[in-house]
Structure 1
Amino acid sequence: MATHKIFNDPVYGFVTVPYGIIFNLIEHPYFQRLRRIKQVSLTHYVYPGALHTRFHHALGAFHLMTQAIDVLRAKGADINDEESLAVQIAILLHDIGHGPFSHTLETTLINVHHERLSELFMQKLNEEFDGALSLAIQIFEDTYPKKFLHQLVSSQLDMDRMDYLTRDSFFTGVYEGVIGYDRIIKMLAVHEGELVVEEKGIYSIEKFLIARRLMYWQVYLHKTVLAAEQMLIQILRRAKQIVKEGGSLYCPPNLEIFIHHDFSETDFLSRRDELLDAFAGLDDYDIFAAIKGWMKADDRVLSFLSTGLINRKLFKLEMANRKFEPAYRQALKQKIEEWWQGPASDMAYLLLNGQESNHAYNPQSGEIKILFKNGVAQPMSELLESGLHFKNVTKYYLAYPKF
């Protein structure tokens, strides 16, 4: 009798999933929804191969977690079978709360962080599975005494980051993002209750940090990707505003409730089952079905933005290391107004400004520690030769139509 299911993953090869609760969770509609949510939003507008999903990522992170547990156990880490299963469940479900297009629409459709939604989904699943997820939830929320188990799920060197950097570089073809995930996992250990990396892995960690920095500016925060994502955000903002003002707008049934209401975390807590089921019915397909319909909307702004996004007529995006001068922004605004010939209020959707920040390594978020042969675990921030890795880099942008 078969004891496991095999998935053929393009990144790692064959991924083994045991029958039982792990397989049953994967089969659940909440998890299957992740097949319909792109891992890196609209990045395929720049890198055409980046069409992989949160489903791919969750399975990949689960696979790496399985390897990490085997390595740690072989080195004497105290992980019993119940804890092993729980941490695998935690990483499998860590992104189950993501909405359409992942991070892009996180605060546009609803004002609830995806990690909070993941917690709510896990709590609801725990009820369906008769309490079998209780330990996984403790690990996910970092309330379980063995801190290193949570660090495997969420830290600056977790299986989440290990998979998304490996997977995103694979599907985008940006090989600067390739990390030695297999060597890093082999170098993991537990020291005084915390996850550490053995001394031999220090250069693999430095390469990991460099790869993460390069991937952010070359892929995740690429200016054309930002332009597309900002257009997507403005489309949903405009649609919600039209409805709020009493206008009529076509909406797929799964999207309609979120266009007509602004739900907060309080709403999700008080109406958990109802709103989670509604949210679980929402994915990328609903958003793009709506946008295709809105190409013919009576509202000029909504039609213009929707047509531009569908046909990849994207905004021009200027990026700079310092804030744009007010005089430059004002001159640009006047040019857009002369070209657009519409109400001044439309400028809120046609001239966009903002900023993006990133640092490859943030010591304040918890250090990666290197374990030396003398038994001393030293923070990575004290070992890096350059401050480049943990310097917070902020870039400012202006986005507007190519008139």
Structure 2
Amino acid sequence: MNLQNKHKILNDPIYGFITIPNEDLFTIIEHPYFQRLRRVTQMGLSYLVYPGAHHTRFHHALGCLHLMQKAVQVLRSKNVDISYEEEDALYKAILLHDIGHGPFSHAMEHSIINNVSHEDISILFMESLNKEFNGSLTLAIQIFKGAYHRPFMMQLISSQLDMDRLDYLKRDSFYTGVAEGNINSQRLIAMLNVKNDELVIEEKGIYSVEHFLSSRRLMYWQVYLHKTGIGAEHLLQSVFVRIKELIGKGIEVDLPSDLKYFLTHGITLAHFTQENLNRFARLDDTDLITTLKLGSQHEDFVLQELCNMILNRQLLKIKFSKEPISDKKLQKKKHQLIKARSLSDHEAQYFVFSGAVHNLAYAKAKPIKILLKNGKLVELIKAGEEASFKALTKKVTKYYYCYPKIQD
């Protein structure tokens, strides 16, 4: 029995009351596809570093909807023509922009289904819902794909200054307790405007944009690229590499049924039938936690050890370097592990490895445009005379290597 709740006001710890503006949006939120997002963590394994980071994609999607409502109000107040149909499509597109995320979000982007992004799966979900809701998402899908003739609408959903980023920085800052990410999203939205159907920022908002970009850069180093989080995500990905390897050798591995289906069938985007989409919609974080618990009791030492390390937070050591990690250094750590645990060289590679992370605060290829008081448009870096603006365009790379703590 489905008795629909007519109350469309939700209490959010970031913004206070969030209003769901119409029945169509409320129906989408009530759909099982969307309710699954309650069980998908926004920040993957970051809670192993920041214990409060247990918020979900459900929280984030509703926050984005709230900010999109504010953006539409601001733009209309500045005589930007947005029809009711366009407004409705913007709300649906932003609400569903992350619906294709799998368990633990970005941490498992290509570990369950190879070469299929969460954006691709989001479109599949949106197209399925569009059929179910009699074509009412057609315009939302056009905007989401960037196929609509008014580019600023897509920029509100996906750009260097979109509602997605404005919410996740502020929300992730709140739940991790990292104050550097606490941006003033209301101020940034108040500075939005549209010129030639392109999303722009008014000149008086230029330093708010600088603060936003600087906050994003700091959040990446302190949170998203935190060394412990990187190491934990590598371990999680390695669990699934090992599972696939064992299955390939004919060794039985206990897995939740839907997860096992994707790991054994080599599903690609072309294979995403409605049945497979429904299978994916049944996947959430609990499938991965169950996999880790089952794997921690498997007879294979590598799988057992990887799973226990994550479950018990007995993670690898990870060290950063300004230079690429030498093979000599890796081989030394690997040989120490092989000797201590009687592992093969191949098995040791699951515990000793290197990589690199990159942080770019501002991509000039997708510029933020500043609307000057004289009506001219200027790219952000040219509008900001201070050296701090140009520093935001510098890509920073850090190299790292991981190894078990028993080596110390």
TM tier, shorter chain?
over 0.9
* Equivalent position of 1:60 in the other structure: 63
Where 2:392 maps in the other structure, the secondary structure is helix
**Cα displacement string for residues 187-224 of structure 1 (whole angstroms, at most 9, x for unaligned residues):** 10011110111111111000000000000010000000
Aligned to 2:139: 135
What is the DSSP-based 3-state SS (H/G/I as helix, E as strand, rest coil) of the residue aligned with 1:18? coil
Aligned to 2:73: 70
Give yes or no for the alignment of 1:224 onto 2:228. yes
Quote the Cα distance in structure 2 between the aligned partners of 1:310 and 1:369. Answer: 46
Q: Is the 8 A contact 1:49 1:171 kept in 2?
A: yes
Picking from 39, 44, 49, the partner of 1:41 is 44
Instruction: State whether residues 109 and 262 of structure 1, in contact with CA within 8 Å, keep that contact through their aligned partners in structure 2.
Output: no
CA distance in 1, matches of 2:102, 2:6: 32
1:109-152 deviations in whole A, cap 9, x for unaligned? 10210001101111111000110000000000011001101000
**C-alpha deviation, 1:266, in angstroms:** 2.2
Do 1:86 and 1:136's aligned partners in 2 also have CA atoms closer than 8 Å? Answer: yes
Alignment of 1:258-297 (within 5 A): 258-268=262-272, 272-297=273-298
**2:376 corresponds to which residue?**
376
Query: What amino acid is aligned across from residue 210 of structure 2 in structure 1?
Result: E
The Cα offsets for residues 158-180 of structure 1, whole Å up to 9 and x where unpaired, read as 00000000100000000011111
**Alignment map for 1:298-313 (pairs within 5 Å):** 298-313=299-314
2:308 is paired with a residue whose SS is helix
Question: 2: distance between equivalents of 1:355 and 1:266?
Answer: 31
1:256 aligns with 2:260: yes
1:305-384 matches, cutoff 5 A: 305-364=306-365, 366-384=366-384
Are 2:407 and 1:401 equivalent residues in the alignment? no
Moved more, 379-388 or 50-59: 379-388
Aligned positions of 1:181-220 closer than 5 A = 181-220=185-224
Q: Partners in 1 of 2:242 and 2:337 — Cα distance?
A: 18
Query: Distance in 1 between the 2:348 and 2:197 partners?
Result: 54
Match of 1:110 in 2: 113
CA distance in 1, matches of 2:6, 2:107: 39
2:12 alignment counterpart? 9
SS of 2:69's equivalent in the other structure is: helix
One-letter identity of the residue aligned with 1:141 = K
Please give the TM-score of this superposition, normalised by the length of structure 2: 0.96
> Where in structure 1 do 4 or more consecutive aligned residues deviate above 3 Å?
none
| Aligned amino acid, residue 148 of structure 2 | Y
Give the CA deviation at 1:326: 2.2
1:61-87 deviation line (CA, Å, top 9, x unaligned): 000000000000010001000000001
* Contact 2:47/2:54 (8 A) holds in 1: yes
Displacement of 1:259 after TM fit?
2.4
Q: Is the 8 A contact 1:15 1:63 kept in 2?
A: yes
Aligned residue for 2:355, secondary structure, equals: strand
Letter matched to residue 264 of structure 2 = H
Secondary structure in 1 aligned to 2:8? strand
Report how far residue 376 of structure 1 moved. 0.7
8 Å Cα contact 1:4/1:19 also seen in 2? no
Amino acid at match of 1:217: W
Q: Identity across aligned pairs (percent)?
A: 49
Retained in 2: the 8 A contact 1:321–1:396?
yes
Question: For the residues of structure 1 that align with 2:22 and 2:374, how far apart are their CA atoms?
Answer: 43
SS for the counterpart of 2:343 is coil
Secondary structure in 2 matching 1:390: coil
CA-to-aligned-CA distance 1:321-361 (integer Å, 9 cap, x gap)? 21012221221221121122112210221112111112010
Counterpart Cα distance in 2 of 1:109 and 1:241: 13
Secondary structure in 2 aligned to 1:355? strand
Give the TM-score normalised by structure 1.
0.97
Number of matched residues?
A: 398
2 CA distance for matches of 1:236 and 1:96? Answer: 22
CA deviations 1:248-293 (Å, max 9, x no partner) are 111112322122222222222xxx2011111100010011011111
AA in 2 matched with 1:194 = E
Counterpart-to-counterpart distance in 2, 1:354 and 1:267: 32
* Whole-angstrom CA distance in 2 between matches of 1:370 and 1:3: 42
Tell me which of 160, 163, 176 is aligned to 2:164: 160
Q: For residues 201 and 298 of structure 1, what CA distance do their matches in structure 2 show?
A: 59
Give the unaligned 5+ runs of structure 1: none
Residue aligning to 1:145: 149
- Superposition deviation, residue 4 in structure 1: 5.4
Distance in structure 1 (CA, Å) of the matches to 2:262 and 2:353: 23
Q: 1:4·1:18 contact (CA, 8 Å) conserved in 2?
A: no
Tell whether the 8 Å contact from 2:334 to 2:349 is kept in structure 1 after alignment. no
Q: Tell me the distance in 2 between the aligned counterparts of 1:381 and 1:261.
A: 48
The worse-fitting range, judged by mean Cα deviation, of 160-169 and 351-360 is 351-360
- The structural deviation recorded for 1:21 is 1.0
Distance, in Å, in 2 between the alignment partners of 1:4 and 1:376 is 45
Q: Which residue, 15, 24, 27 being the options, matches 2:27?
A: 24
